[in-house]
Structures are given as structure tokens and as C-alpha cells.
Structure 1
Amino acid sequence: MFDDRSPIYLQIADKIKEDILSGALGEDEQVMSTNQYASFYRINPATAAKGFQQLVEEGVLYKRRGIGMFVSPDAREKLRTERRERFFEEVVDAMIAEARVIGISLDEIVRRVEGAK
């Protein structure tokens, strides 16, 4: 599951985010504990805890003292909004800039996108 491209704790956070976006984890649903996560993926519990803490700081997960970690009620919509913004910044804006350089009009882009339905 893990690769060498980024720290494992970030990959843990990204995996949980993907599970929320896909609907595999729903709002107010309990997630595996850091120890369960560490045991399942055979990683250091501190590494798992760091990934979970990042998600808490981002408002994606919340803690219930003595019970565990849960998906925040607005996590899916928050993640979708962030992903949409990143999509426009990284994909659409870059595409428009490249199109201008090579002489493609926005009208041509729109026609192409609408034809892809």
C-alpha cells in the first residue's frame, strides 16, 4: 500500500480521505484505531497516529475521548470542495495556459469538453 514518494503518515491521511470521498467511510463513522491501523499495515503506531492527527487538525476526523476517532459530519463535502479547487488550479488553469500558448481558443476547449459527454 505504501510507496516511497511521500511520508507514510501522509499516505495514511490520503487513504482515509479517499475512503471518505468514495463513501467507504461515512459521516460520524468510527475509523480503525491507530493501533489497529498500525497492526493491519505493519507500521509504527506513532506513524499512524501522526496521520490521524493531521486529519483531526484538518477537521476531517474528530476524537471522542475514550472511544476513538470518527469521520466529521462535513468531511466528505469539505474534501470534495478542496479536491475541486485543486482540480481547477492544477488541471484546468494549466490547460488554459497551455492552450493560449499553442493558439487554442476557450471556445474550442468548451466545444471539445461538451463533445466528450
Structure 2
Amino acid sequence: MILDHDGNKPIYVQISDWLESEILRGNLHVDEKVYSQYQLADMFTINPATAAKGLNLLVDDDILFKKRGLGMFVSEHAKEIILQKRKNGVLQQLVADLVKEARQLNVDETELLEMIKEANQKEGEEG
């Protein structure tokens, strides 16, 4: 992953999002130790405090848990928490933006739903 140092999203949030994606992809498993703040800092050439802030976001959301003296590990329900979080946050915002844009373009609900179905079918064929 390449961090976007010039973007609107803070680096620590990008680190958190990347770790979430690693869990969703199956690259990090339940009870598996995740990268330390120092490993992340080295991997992404960032301050360890920034990396720690990203890790702590995941601890706050119960995606990771700390074992004193051992590090941070993937929680039992991490995948479900991430899916719910993204569904309720990112996906809802995308849908709201889509509906707003459709209204500005005078695309009615039926036409919009048809466009979504077509896109979903096309994605299913490619994936």
C-alpha cells in the first residue's frame, strides 16, 4: 500500500483502513499478531506515534485487542465489525451521494435501480 500524504484522509486513518482491508482479505486472521507500531512506521516511513494512533483506532472499535507485553492481535469478531462499520459508514455515504447525483441529473428511482442492477451483474461476471 502507498500512503497518500497529500490527501484529505489522515495517515493514521489510512493505516487503520489498510489493516482492516488486510483482515477482510484474509491476510490477518483471528488471534493473529498484527504489525507493531514500529514495524508499521518502518514499512510506511512514518512516525511510530502515527502508526500507534492507527492501531488504537482499531482497538477502540474492538477489531484488535492488546496483550500486555506481547502486542496487538485480531479480535474474534473483527471481520464482522469491519463489515458492519463499512456498510453503515462508507456504503451509506456512497449511496447518499449516488442518490443526490441522480436527482441532479433527473434520473428517476427506476432508472437508477436498473443502473445499479446492471453494474452489479457486470461486476459479478468479472469477479
After TM superposition, the score normalised by the length of structure 1 is 0.82
Confirm or deny that 1:52 pairs with 2:58: no
Select which of 66, 84, 87 maps to 1:63. Answer: 66
- State the structure with bigger RCO (CA 8 A, min sep 6), 1 or 2: 1
Q: What residue in structure 2 maps to residue 94 of structure 1?
A: 97
Point out where structure 1 has 5 or more consecutive residues left out of the alignment: none
CA distance in 2, matches of 1:69, 1:61: 6
List aligned pairs for 1:1-117, cutoff 5 A.
1-4=2-5, 5=7, 6-116=9-119, 117=121
CA distance in 1, matches of 2:34, 2:93: 30
CA distance 1:103–1:76, shift in 2 (3 Å): same
- Percentage of pairs with the same residue: 39
Give the aligned residue type for 1:73.
E
Q: Hey, which bits of structure 1, 4+ residues long, moved more than 6 A?
A: none
CA distance in 2, matches of 1:72, 1:9: 20
Point out where structure 2 has 5 or more consecutive residues left out of the alignment: 122-127
After TM superposition, the score normalised by the length of structure 2 is 0.77
| Backbone CA RMSD of aligned residues | 2.0
- State how many pairs are aligned: 117
